[in-house]
């Protein structure tokens, strides 16, 4: 099972390091995590940047401002992808929600993210994920060579998600930890669908998921998880 550092390695496991920063991804590499997860958004002037929340405190919605007014610690997607060449898996979560600023109902954002990942040094080790299935479909249509995975919300039927992932031509399903059972993992594997589970911080659960054959486990404690899964 691949251990994936959720937004890199950051506080509290890595004191003084902010999530989704160059320092966080470098720290994940030092801890021996074979994978990282990051979040991508688009600024008002069209730059793809790495940040989880739709807004930056004191600045406002990322979708409404230029890259030049964002803080220096907030990196561009290109910079992070270049840094991540040593990882076995780079999970690029495309943030595009109808309930947040900057939602793009058309394919432009999906096309831009797909193109950036496909042109990066980690293209063959990346998976583009999203909670918004139409956005994920648009990534796959624009960049068919990329691996893609559907993130599902708590309470969604994971067996149904596996079926839809296959139907839409994606390679992975990414459900929340409470949804996962041994039977669901076995069913996904039997259908050739990879399972990326988020976000798992309990040591006993990490070990259990590894024993079930989960493909990748996203965690806020990558150093600890590496020691357990190894």
Cα 157 to Cα 128, 129, 161, 174, 178: the distances in Å are 21, 18, 6, 12, 12
Per-residue pLDDT for 83 more than 70?
yes
**Average pLDDT of the chain?**
97
Q: What is the pLDDT of residues 114-145, one digit of tens each?
A: 999 999 999 999 999 999 999 999 999 999 99
- The total of other beta-carbon atoms located within 10 Å of residue 227's CB is 14
The CATH fold of domain 2-229: TIM Barrel (3.20.20)
Q: What percent of the chain has pLDDT over 90?
A: 99
Give the pair of three-digit tokens for residue 9: 């390695």
Q: What is the pLDDT of residues 144-188, one digit of tens each?
A: 999 999 999 999 999 999 999 999 999 999 999 999 999 999 999
Burial of 204 (0-12, 13-18, 19+ CB in 10 A): exposed
- Tell me, what's the pLDDT at 153? 97
Using pLDDT thresholds of 50, 70 and 90, give the confidence band for residue 15: very high
CB neighbour burial string for 122-148, b if at least 16 within 10 angstroms, e if fewer: bbebbbbbbbbbebbbbbbebbeebbb
- Tell me, what's the pLDDT at 48? 98
Give the pair of three-digit tokens for residue 121: 């040094």
Rounded mean pLDDT of 70-95?
Answer: 98
Where are the chain's structural domains? 2-229
- The most distant pair of C-alpha atoms in the chain lies apart, rounded to whole Å, by 49
Give the pair of three-digit tokens for residue 140: 């796959």
Please, are residues 67 and 49 in contact by the beta-carbon 8 Å criterion? yes
Rounded mean pLDDT of 71-95?
Answer: 98
Closest CA to 77 of 25, 34, 32: 25
- Tell me, what's the pLDDT at 152? 98
- Tell me, what's the pLDDT at 229? 72
- Tell me, what's the pLDDT at 22? 98
Give the pair of three-digit tokens for residue 69: 């007014």
Rounded mean pLDDT of 20-43?
Answer: 98
Q: What is the pLDDT of residues 96-117, one digit of tens each?
A: 999 999 999 999 999 999 999 9
- Tell me, what's the pLDDT at 230? 61
């Amino acid at each position: 099972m691949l251990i994936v550092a959720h937004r890199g390695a950051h506080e509290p496991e890595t004191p003084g390091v902010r999530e989704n920063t160059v320092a966080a991804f470098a720290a994940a590499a030092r801890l021996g995590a074979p994978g990282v997860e990051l979040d991508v958004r688009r600024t008002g002037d069209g730059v793809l940047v790495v940040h989880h929340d739709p807004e930056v405190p004191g600045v406002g919605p990322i979708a409404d401002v230029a890259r030049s007014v964002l803080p220096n610690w907030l990196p561009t997607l290109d910079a992070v992808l270049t840094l991540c060449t040593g990882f076995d898996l780079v999970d690029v979560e495309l943030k595009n929600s109808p309930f947040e600023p900057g939602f793009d109902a058309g394919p432009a954002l999906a096309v831009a993210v797909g193109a950036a990942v496909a042109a990066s040094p980690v293209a063959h080790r990346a998976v583009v994920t999203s909670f918004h299935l139409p956005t994920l479909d648009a990534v796959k249509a624009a960049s068919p060579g990329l691996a893609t995975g559907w993130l599902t919300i708590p309470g969604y039927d994971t067996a149904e998600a596996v079926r839809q992932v296959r139907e839409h031509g994606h390679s992975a399903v990414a459900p929340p930890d409470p949804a996962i059972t041994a039977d669901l993992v076995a069913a996904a594997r039997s259908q050739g669908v990879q399972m990326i589970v988020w976000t798992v911080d309990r040591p006993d659960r990490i070990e259990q998921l590894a024993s079930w054959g989960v493909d990748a486990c996203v965690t806020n404690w990558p150093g600890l998880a590496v020691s357990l899964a190894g």
